[in-house]
Amino acid sequence: MYKELQGINSRPAPFQFYTADELWTTEHTSKQMLEYHLNGDIDFSSKNSGFIEDAIEWMTSHFNINEKTTIADFGCGPGLYTTKLAEKGAAVTGIDFSERSLQYAKQIAEKKKLDINYIQANYLDFETDQKFDLITIIMCDFCALSPHQRNILLKKFNVMLKPHGSILFDVFSFNGFEQREESARYELNQLNSFWSAEDYYCFVNTFKYDTEKVILDKYSIIEKSQTRTVYNWLQYFSKGSLRKELENAGLSLKQLYGDVRGNPYNPDSEEFAIVASIG
Ligand SMILES: C[S@@+](CC[C@H](N)C(=O)[O-])C[C@H]1O[C@@H](n2cnc3c(N)ncnc32)[C@H](O)[C@@H]1O
C-alpha cells in the first residue's frame, strides 16, 4: 500500500506520458465528453453555445469567410465550429481522433446537407496536400501537447497554410498558471462517474512545474479489475513564449486577442488567443 501510494503521488517529468486518447476516445469517456460538448450551458469540453455563436460571427468577418475559403479545424470534436463555418459557405475539414464525436458531427452534416470533410486521425499524424486559408485549434487543445508535439503541429500548419492564410488558436496564460495550486485528493467515482461505469476510486494529483510553466492533473483510477493513470498536461504561455514557439516553426504572431471571439487581449486573463501566419 505504501509503495502504491508512493507511485500515485510521484511526479513524472514534464510531458513524460501522453494519454490523451484515454481522455477522449475510450467507449466510456468519449460518451461523457460528447455530453459535455453538447451541453450548451457550460464551458467544459467546448465553450458554451453563446460563446461559439459569437466566435463564428467574429471569425467570419475577421477572416472574410465565404464560399472560397478553405478551413481545417484540428480537434473539431462533434463539429460545433465546423458545422457553422460550413454554413457560412466555407469548404471545411475537421480532424479528430474521437470516433464518437465524429459520428455525431457527420450526422449533423448529413441532416443539414453540408459537405464537410471529417477525418478520424491523431492530428499529430495527419497529412494532406490540401492548403488552407484558415487553420484552427480551439479550446486550448494546443496546451495539452508537449513542446516537441507542438513543434510538429506548428510545422504541419506552416506546410498546410496558403501563403496569406491564418492560424487561430487559444492558450492558457502565465496568469492562469499562477491561479493553480498543487493538491492531492481522492474520491469515490470522481467527476460523477466520468472514468468508468463501475465504481472506482480516483486519486487526483495536481503538480506544478514552475520553470516550464506546466501543470499536470494526474488521475490514478483504481477499479476492482484494473488500475490506470491518465495524465492531463497543460502548458501555460506568455506572449513571448508563444511567439518563440511560432518562430521556431517558421510562423509569426500577427495579432493577440482575449479569446477566439476577437475580444481585446487582457494581460490579467487566464487565457488568450492569437492569429499567426507564415513568415
Ligand atoms: C477540448 S476539445 C475541443 C473540441 C472543439 N475544438 C470545440 O472547441 O468544441 C479537444 C478535442 O480535440 C480532440 N483531440 C485531442 N487530442 C487529439 C489528437 N492528438 N488528435 C486528434 N484529436 C485530438 C479531442 O477528441 C476533442 O474532440
Q: Would the pTM count as exceeding 0.95?
A: yes
**Domain check: are 123 and 185 in the same one?**
no
Same domain as 208, residue 164: no
- Same domain? 197 vs 169: no
159 CA distance to ligand 1 middle (Å): 21
Cα 172–chain centre separation: 11
What cell was used for 35?
Answer: 455530453
Nearest CA residue ID for atom 19, ligand 1:
122
37 CA closest ligand 1 atom index? 9
201/168 same-domain check:
no
For residue 182, the enclosing domain spans 2-9+176-234
Q: Mark whether 220 and 161 lie in a shared domain.
A: no
What interhelical angle do 239-248 and 147-160 show, nearest 10?
60
Grouping H, G, I as helix, E, B as strand and the rest as coil, residue 137 is strand
Q: Is 141 in the pocket of ligand 1 (CB under 6 A)?
A: yes
Asked, for residue 18, whether it belongs to a domain, the answer is: no
CA atoms within 13 A on the CB side of 243: 7
Angle 121-249-138 (CA atoms, 0-180°, nearest 5)? 45
Total domains in the chain come to 2
Would residue 21 count as lying in a domain?
no
Residue 131 included in any domain: yes
Our answer on whether the CB atom of 78 is closer than 6 Å to any ligand 1 atom is no
The last residue of one of the domains, among 234, 249, 265, is 234
Tell whether 112 and 154 lie within a shared domain.
Answer: yes
Q: Can you list the alpha helix ranges (DSSP code H) found in the chain?
A: 2-8, 20-24, 27-38, 49-62, 82-87, 99-111, 147-160, 174-179, 190-193, 239-248
Per-residue pLDDT of the chain (279 residues; tens, 9 = 90+): 999 999 999 999 999 999 999 999 999 999 999 999 999 999 999 999 999 999 999 999 999 999 999 999 999 999 999 999 999 999 999 999 999 999 999 999 999 999 999 999 999 999 999 999 999 999 999 999 999 999 999 999 999 999 999 999 999 999 999 999 999 999 999 999 999 999 999 999 999 999 999 999 999 999 999 999 999 999 999 999 999 999 999 999 999 999 999 999 999 999 999 999 998
- 259 CB under 6 A from ligand 1? no
Q: Are residues 51 and 76 in the same domain?
A: yes
pLDDT in tens, 5-25: 999 999 999 999 999 999 999
Do 261 and 168 sit in the same domain of this protein? yes
| Most ligand 1 atoms within 8 A of CB, residue of 42, 126, 139, 141 to mutate | 141
Q: Are residues 182 and 130 in the same domain?
A: no
181 and 145, same structural domain? Answer: no
Q: In this structure, are 161 and 270 located in the same domain? A: yes
- What are the tens digits of pLDDT across the range 188-227? 999 999 999 999 999 999 999 999 999 999 999 999 999 9
